[in-house]
Amino acid sequence: MPKRIPTIEVSDEKQVRDYFARLEQDYPQLIETMKVMNVSYQQYLAAMQAMNQRCSISTSSAQLTL
């Protein structure tokens, strides 16, 4: 059985904090790239939310998948 991929609510501050902590641990090069390119967490989340809204079918909130 495939492992269920957890999702987070963008509006939940704790989930967002935990998401970036995990990204930093699992994908440090992503966080370093964001810093070098001067991309804030808010900009990253806005981009992910916009992509998710374009890709999803009628959802009331955006979710990120890690």
Q: What predicted TM-score, i.e. pTM, was given to this entire model? A: 0.57
The position carrying tokens 């939940």 is 12
User: Could you tell me how far CA 64 lies from the centroid of its own chain?
Assistant: 5
Domain borders along the chain are 7-65
In tens, the pLDDT along 7-53 reads 777 778 888 888 889 889 998 998 999 999 999 888 888 787 777 66
| pLDDT value at residue 36 | 93
Distance CA 31, CA 49 (A): 18
